Amino acid sequence: MKTLKLFSVILFGAIVMSSCVADVVIQDEIVVDEPRVTLNQLLATYEIWYLDIHRTIGNGAIPFMDKAFTLSFRNGTFFANNNLVGMGANGNGFGLDVGFYDTFAMELDISHDLDGFYRFEVFQAGPNEIRLYHRSTNTTYFLEGYQRNTFDYDLVFYENIHYFLQEYEAWEKVYTSNYGAINEFDNENYLQFLYYGSGDNFRSSQDPNGTPINTIYYDYTGYYEVNDIPNDFYSKTLTLDYDYLGNEFFELTVINDGKIELFHPSSGTVYRFVGRGYLQFKNSNGEQQNQTKRIRKSDFLKHKKV
């Protein structure tokens, strides 16, 4: 009887164990593909892409990239802020319509109104940063994304005042203070600022006020340089090097995007100049504009407020 009970217990245990083993099911790991953001969606995520030309890698030159301060990609239309005059107002902050674009996987095709077709490979370098690589010229551009309401247009303007001076064909003196010592600069009525790398890059004229721009005779030529004033971001210094005639040094203040004020410390005189002949850099207009933006020295990153 005990033997029968023992056999029954063993048989019942075997049945239970076999049942447990039969209930164990091993399943393969289920992998769920997360939805990916397309390049087109990525470009549209930010309203403004700041082009940090200071970080450009390579010796190639793409005209419309080298002269742009910001780029925007809006429903197939390609926008750019190429001018400091009107920065933040032109095109509601987007700049001017300069072409169109399309995307394929991680490739960006841009057709510029005048410069033609260019294809870039796009790489995401950070949460709001992308790299545009142009294989034919072996050149890489860095773009940082912002929204219009947080992008500091004024900061870009003051970081690049030396280019702002180039956005008019000439600057005409419209005011001389009635205080200050008499000096040679009192006779200068027109200034013209040219792009770096053009040899003598500023000119001055003693022609009378009201002279048509295309008939101004420039008496002197030289080099100009704009520098920061410590602890005063919104004022700059302007040095006019008249070759063998010496230098004239000023403190430069921008009154608005068409008028500047020059304070001459050595004489104590204040001058005001108004821009004449606005140059709108919508399209490539020769080597001048290309070189202008290629050697821009601004470093937006170290000052940005956004």
Q: Can you give the CATH number for the domain in which 234 is found?
A: 2.40.128
Which two structure tokens, joined as six digits, stand for 221? 């030529």
Quick check: 113 pLDDT over 60? yes
Domain assignment of residue 9, yes or no: no
Asked if residues 176 and 269 have their Cβ atoms less than 8 Å apart, the reply is yes
pLDDT, tens digit, 9 for 90 and up, residues 220-229: 999 999 999 9
State the pLDDT at residue 163. Answer: 87
Domain assignment of residue 23, yes or no: no
Tell me the one-letter amino acid at 59.
N
Could you tell me if 167 and 149 lie in one domain? no
Asked if residues 159 and 83 have their Cβ atoms less than 8 Å apart, the reply is no
Q: How far is CA 125 from CA 94, 132, 150, in A?
A: 23, 10, 21
Q: Provide the whole-model pTM.
A: 0.74
Quick check: 293 pLDDT over 90? no
Among candidate residues 273, 275, 226, 276, the one with its CA nearest the CA of residue 251: 226
Domain assignment of residue 11, yes or no: no
Could you tell me if 166 and 155 lie in one domain? no
For the chain, the average pLDDT equals 83
Quick check: 261 pLDDT over 60? yes
State the pLDDT at residue 282. Answer: 57
Could you tell me if 128 and 166 lie in one domain? no
Could you tell me if 50 and 152 lie in one domain? yes
Could you tell me if 230 and 197 lie in one domain? yes
Could you tell me if 147 and 237 lie in one domain? no
Asked if residues 276 and 172 have their Cβ atoms less than 8 Å apart, the reply is yes
- Beta strand 220-229 with 232-241: parallel, antiparallel or unpaired? antiparallel
Domain assignment of residue 236, yes or no: yes
Could you tell me if 44 and 134 lie in one domain? yes
Q: Which residues contact 233 (CB under 8 A, 6 or more apart)?
A: 158, 303
pLDDT band, residue 1 (cuts 50/70/90): very low
Domain assignment of residue 21, yes or no: no
Give 66 or 249, the one with higher predicted confidence: 249
Q: Can you give the residue range of the structural domain that contains 69?
A: 39-159
pLDDT band, residue 280 (cuts 50/70/90): confident
pLDDT band, residue 30 (cuts 50/70/90): low
Among candidate residues 162, 147, 150, the one with its CA nearest the CA of residue 49: 147
Could you tell me if 53 and 116 lie in one domain? yes
Q: Which residues contact 244 (CB under 8 A, 6 or more apart)?
A: none
Domain assignment of residue 290, yes or no: no
Could you tell me if 47 and 142 lie in one domain? yes
Could you tell me if 147 and 96 lie in one domain? yes
pLDDT, tens digit, 9 for 90 and up, residues 150-199: 999 988 998 888 889 999 999 999 999 999 999 999 999 999 998 765 54
**Single residue among 102, 132, 159 that ends a domain in this structure:** 159
Quick check: 18 pLDDT over 90? no
**Single residue among 117, 143, 159 that ends a domain in this structure:** 159
User: What CATH number should be reported for the domain holding residue 49?
Assistant: 2.40.128.280
Number of domains in the chain: 2
State the pLDDT at residue 197. Answer: 54
State the pLDDT at residue 60. Answer: 85
What are residue 280's phi and psi, to 5 degrees? -95, 115
Could you tell me if 66 and 167 lie in one domain? no
**Single residue among 159, 174, 191 that ends a domain in this structure:** 159
Among candidate residues 264, 234, 230, the one with its CA nearest the CA of residue 249: 264
